[in-house]
Amino acid sequence: MGFATIVPVAADLRREALEQTMLLGALDDESLDKLAAAGRLRSYHRGDPVVLAGEAGGDLLVVAAGRLKVLARSPDGAAVVLAVAMVGDTLGELSLLDRCPRSATVEAAAETTVLWLPRDAVLAMLRNNPDLAEELLRQQAETIRRVSGMVADLVFLDLPRRVAKYVVEHTDHRGLAQLDMSQSELAAAVGGVRQSVNGALRGLERRGWIEMEGRSVTVHDRAALEQYAAVSAT
């Protein structure tokens, strides 16, 4: 379960973590208090493992502070980032539902606090709240669609186009993309290596479509990026 430090905190901080989630935040006060009381907060340093692929699962994880990255690793140690979980995101739904071992490794991508919720407590809430169960199914369907899209991108898009698509998908209404990760982490997220990703970003910059400053990217021509990466505007 990684190098966790148990955080001794009052129940209201655990409840605050729950209120930030789309999945659990809509529960009534009594249910939130009950679930918060059952949870436990643990803190992790950047790079610490939180869960490992193949280990026993069941608990639901809530990102209370910081961020986590979900990884798939090959036998030779190469990694692909399947997702980055931010504050308010939940992880571990598959093991929660089917009791099977963890399907991916999760590591802290920054100083992070995670709220661990026991499987039995979460399942009790699902049984008593049909809308909550429906939301969980909706989120799992969304995850399946996202992972299917990642597989298609790896097959049909070359690395520069995957980088362009990643930038587009992380650009806000101001035209800013806060990648908030190292180039090595970005490389894992798009299925490449750091040097190639850096070259791809510089290539987009030379075209005048983006401008890089540290881990921030200003998008000057989103339409061109979308067309280049075959991304439909949304």
Whether the CB-CB separation of 18 and 25 falls below 8 Å is answered with yes
Confidence band for 11, pLDDT divided at 50, 70 and 90: low
Q: Sign of the C-alpha dihedral, residues 162, 64, 234, 168?
A: negative
Question: pTM for the complete prediction?
Answer: 0.70
89-92 own/partner pairs: CB under 8 Å, 24+ apart: 89/21, 89/62, 89/63, 90/21, 90/23, 90/24, 90/60, 90/61, 90/62, 90/63, 90/139, 91/60, 91/61, 91/63, 92/51, 92/57, 92/58, 92/59, 92/60, 92/61
Mean pLDDT confidence for 206-231 = 88
Mean pLDDT confidence for 126-142 = 85
117-122 own/partner pairs: CB under 8 Å, 24+ apart: 117/35, 117/38, 117/39, 117/59, 117/60, 117/61, 117/62, 118/38, 118/39, 118/58, 118/59, 119/58, 119/59, 119/60, 121/34, 121/35, 121/38, 121/39, 122/35, 122/60, 122/96
Confidence band for 2, pLDDT divided at 50, 70 and 90: low
- 61-70, 181-190, 216-225: least confident range: 181-190
Q: What is the pLDDT of residue 232?
A: 45
The more confident residue out of 69 and 7 is 69
Residues 6+ apart with CB under 8 A from 218: 175, 176, 177, 210, 211, 212
Q: Which of 71, 134, 64, 79 is nearest to 102 (CA)?
A: 71
Whether the CB-CB separation of 226 and 232 falls below 8 Å is answered with yes
Q: What is the pLDDT of residue 231?
A: 54
Percent of the chain with pLDDT over 70: 93
Mean pLDDT confidence for 33-51 = 94
Mean pLDDT confidence for 175-188 = 76
Q: What is the pLDDT of residue 173?
A: 83
Q: Rounded CA gap, 173 and 159, in Å?
A: 25
